[in-house]
Amino acid sequence: MVKAKIATTSLAGCFGCHMSILDIDERILKLAELVEFDKSPINDIKRFSGQCDVGLIEGGCCNHENVEVLRAFRKRCNILVSVGECALMGGLPALRNGIPMTECLKEAYLDGPSVVDGSIPNDPELPLILDKVYPCHEVVKIDYFLPGCPPSADLIWESLVGLLTGREADLPYELIKYD
Amino acid sequence: MSDKIKFLMEGKECTGKPGQSILQAADDNGVYIPRLCYHPDLKPGGSCRVCTVNVNGRNMAACTTPVADGMVILNETEELRDLRRALVEMLFIEGNHYCPFCEKSGNCELQALAYRLKIMAPRFPYMFPERKLDATHPAIFIDGNRCIQCGRCVRAAEEVDHKPILGFIGRGVAMRIKAGSSKGLAGVEIGPEDACVKVCPVGSIIVRETAYRTPIGKRTYDHQPIGSDIEARAPES
Ligand code: SF4
Ligand code: FES
């Protein structure tokens, strides 16, 4: 049997959702039977080797690079899943959405109480920050959503197995939580 | 006049009492109609429309429509479910609802409704509006980011606490909850025991120093969907 290919990434997230993927514990052995990991921070593969079946996205889009990566995932993955509150609605990083950008940068790099000789970073190497943090589905088409901060390992497991085996995931009430 | 009203709910014969709304009669028959702005201790507000049911072919708010003899009511059609989902999704995108760190998470009626309606993500774009925090009072604060304009606190202040200290300013999408003093909450007489504080369905009106006391797994809606208590009232048939 050809194994399904799966890719994952963390955009403006905290890696908590990836930790939750690892939280499936020994089921990871079963997962390894079902899938082969392509581009992912879990195996540190940086480039797509080809078309993938499933892409898991952690985090929303707060800068230009996030948008590029998300678009690449959309192109390379047949099914794209938003994983966690940040991917779904921006999450904690989106707290800046109500504050003007200049004010944010000034507070962080110039006027903050712990700043000494601050300056606003402006290196060409740095990806440009966006006007606000965007949920992934406002940037590309997302096929499925797994809410939670992070989504529980059981939710991730049940949904993945459902996707990979082609049967509708049976998600009990307790698995769907926004916190 | 008979003191029993007979109606059909989802094809099931039910009885109600004169003066009851459809929602109250359904409650007594163990049928849960989703609701948000309704509170059993207050006069119905009829503003959220989450309680919309189909009565004899027309959609009506169950909390404000009196139950009547011969009504044929539908509650769980796919159309109504989708309408309710849309309403709840709009409330999520219209405010700033950060469930991961909200004090009310797990006990919040908006969140619990979204769980019950199986909302995985809203279909509308987030608005990220600018809302204000009133932290002027030593014991209570109002976080406007989370207010869903249900009006429960306003009604409770008037009807139960008998002091109209809260109200709305602005209209439509710009409507905001506000304490009736230029000094904000600090300028009004309000305490943690007031009904207007307790009836808030979301984390908008919060009593300070009470947050995060209940561990995850023990909160109101961790295991049972909202409305389970009402469904448990279903008479044996
Ligand atoms: S503060 Fe709470 S009770 Fe008052 S209108 Fe807003 S959500 Fe409703
Ligand atoms: S509960 Fe009936 S309109 Fe809000």
CB B153 within 8 A of CB B196: yes
> Looking at CA atoms only, how far is residue B203 from chain A in angstroms?
14
Could you report the per-residue pLDDT of B193-203, keeping only the tens digit for each?
A: 999 999 999 99
Angle A77-A79-A80 from CA coordinates, rounded to 5°: 85
Report angle CA A144, A155, A7 to the nearest 5 degrees: 55
Mean pLDDT of all residues in B107-135? 97
Confidence of residue B1 (pLDDT cuts 50, 70, 90): low
Q: Which helix (H) or strand (E) holds A54?
A: strand A52-58
At residue A165, does pLDDT exceed 80? yes
Q: What is the mean pLDDT of residues B14-27?
A: 97
Burial class (CB within 10 angstroms; exposed 0-12, middle 13-18, buried 19+) of B64: middle
Interface mutation target, options B92, B98, B133, B212, chain A, most CBs of A under 10 Å: B98
CA B121 to chain centre: 20
pLDDT digits (tens, 9 = 90+) for B137-165: 999 999 999 999 999 999 999 999 999 99
What CATH number has the domain spanning A4-94+132-175? 3.40.50.700
Answer whether B33 contacts ligand 2 (Cβ < 6 A). Answer: no
Q: How far is the CA of B117 from the centre of ligand 2 (A)?
A: 16
Which pLDDT value is given to residue B237? 54
Query: Do B223 and A149 count as a contact with CB atoms less than 8 A apart?
Result: no
Angle ∠(B34,B35,B40) on CA atoms, nearest 5: 120
pLDDT at B236: 65
Pocket residue to mutate for ligand 1, from B152, B176, B185, B194, most atoms within 8 A of Cβ: B152
Summarised one tens digit per residue, pLDDT across range B78-96 is 999 999 999 999 999 999 9
Question: Parallel, antiparallel, or unpaired for β B72-74 and B58-61?
Answer: unpaired
Cβ of residue B102 lying under 6 Å from some atom of ligand 2: no
- For the stretch A52-99, pLDDT in tens is 999 999 999 999 999 999 999 999 999 999 999 999 999 999 999 999
- Exposed, middle or buried: residue B166 (CB in 10 Å: 0-12, 13-18, 19+)? buried
CATH number among 3.40.50.410, 3.20.20.70, 3.40.50.620, 3.10.20.740, domain B5-76: 3.10.20.740
Indicate yes or no: CB of B120 within 8 angstroms of CB of A144.
Answer: yes
pLDDT by residue (tens digit) across A13-50? 999 999 999 999 999 999 999 999 999 999 999 999 99
Whether A97 sits inside 8 A of B225 (CB atoms) is no
Provide DSSP, A85-126.
HHHHH-TGGGGGGGS-HHHHHHIIIIISTT-SS------TTS
Tell me, what's the pLDDT at A1? Answer: 66
B196 Cα–ligand 1 center, Å:
9
Mean pLDDT score, B222-234: 95
Mean pLDDT, all residues of chain A: 95
CATH match for B87-207 among 3.30.70.20, 3.40.190.10, 3.40.50.2300, 3.90.1150.10: 3.30.70.20
Please determine, for the modelled complex, whether the ipTM score is greater than 0.90.
Answer: yes
At A117-146, the pLDDT tens digits run: 999 999 999 999 999 999 999 999 999 999
Sign of CA dihedral B150, B152, B155, B157: negative
B216 contacts in chain A (CB < 8 Å)? 179
- What is the spatial distance between Cα B180 and Cα B188, in angstroms, rounded to a whole number? 7
Q: Which ligand is nearest to the CA of B38?
A: 2
Across the interface, of B106, B121, B222, the residue whose CB is closest to A145 is B121
B93 residue type, one letter:
I
| The pLDDT value given to residue B3 | 81
Contacts of B128 in chain A (CB under 8 A): 90, 94, 97-98, 132
> What's the whole-number average pLDDT of chain B?
96
Closest-CA residue of A relative to B93 is A89
pLDDT tens-digit profile of B44-68?
999 999 999 999 999 999 999 999 9
Site to substitute for ligand 2 among B49, B65, B109, most atoms within 8 A of C-beta: B49
What pLDDT does residue B2 have? 62
**Angstrom distances, CA of residue B115 to CA of A23, B222, B225:** 23, 10, 7
Write down the pLDDT at residue A167: 87
Domain span(s) for CATH 3.30.70.20 in chain B? 87-207
Residue ranges of chain B that CATH labels 3.10.20.740 = 5-76
Q: Which of B142, B204, B206 to mutate to test the pocket of ligand 1 (most atoms within 8 A of CB)?
A: B204
Quote the ligand 2 centre to B51 CA distance (angstroms).
5
Span B93-120, average pLDDT: 97
CB-closest option in B100, B115, B126 to A135? B126
Report the pLDDT averaged over residues B99-127.
97
Contact B98 A91 (CB under 8 A): yes
Domain ranges in chain A? Answer: 4-94+132-175
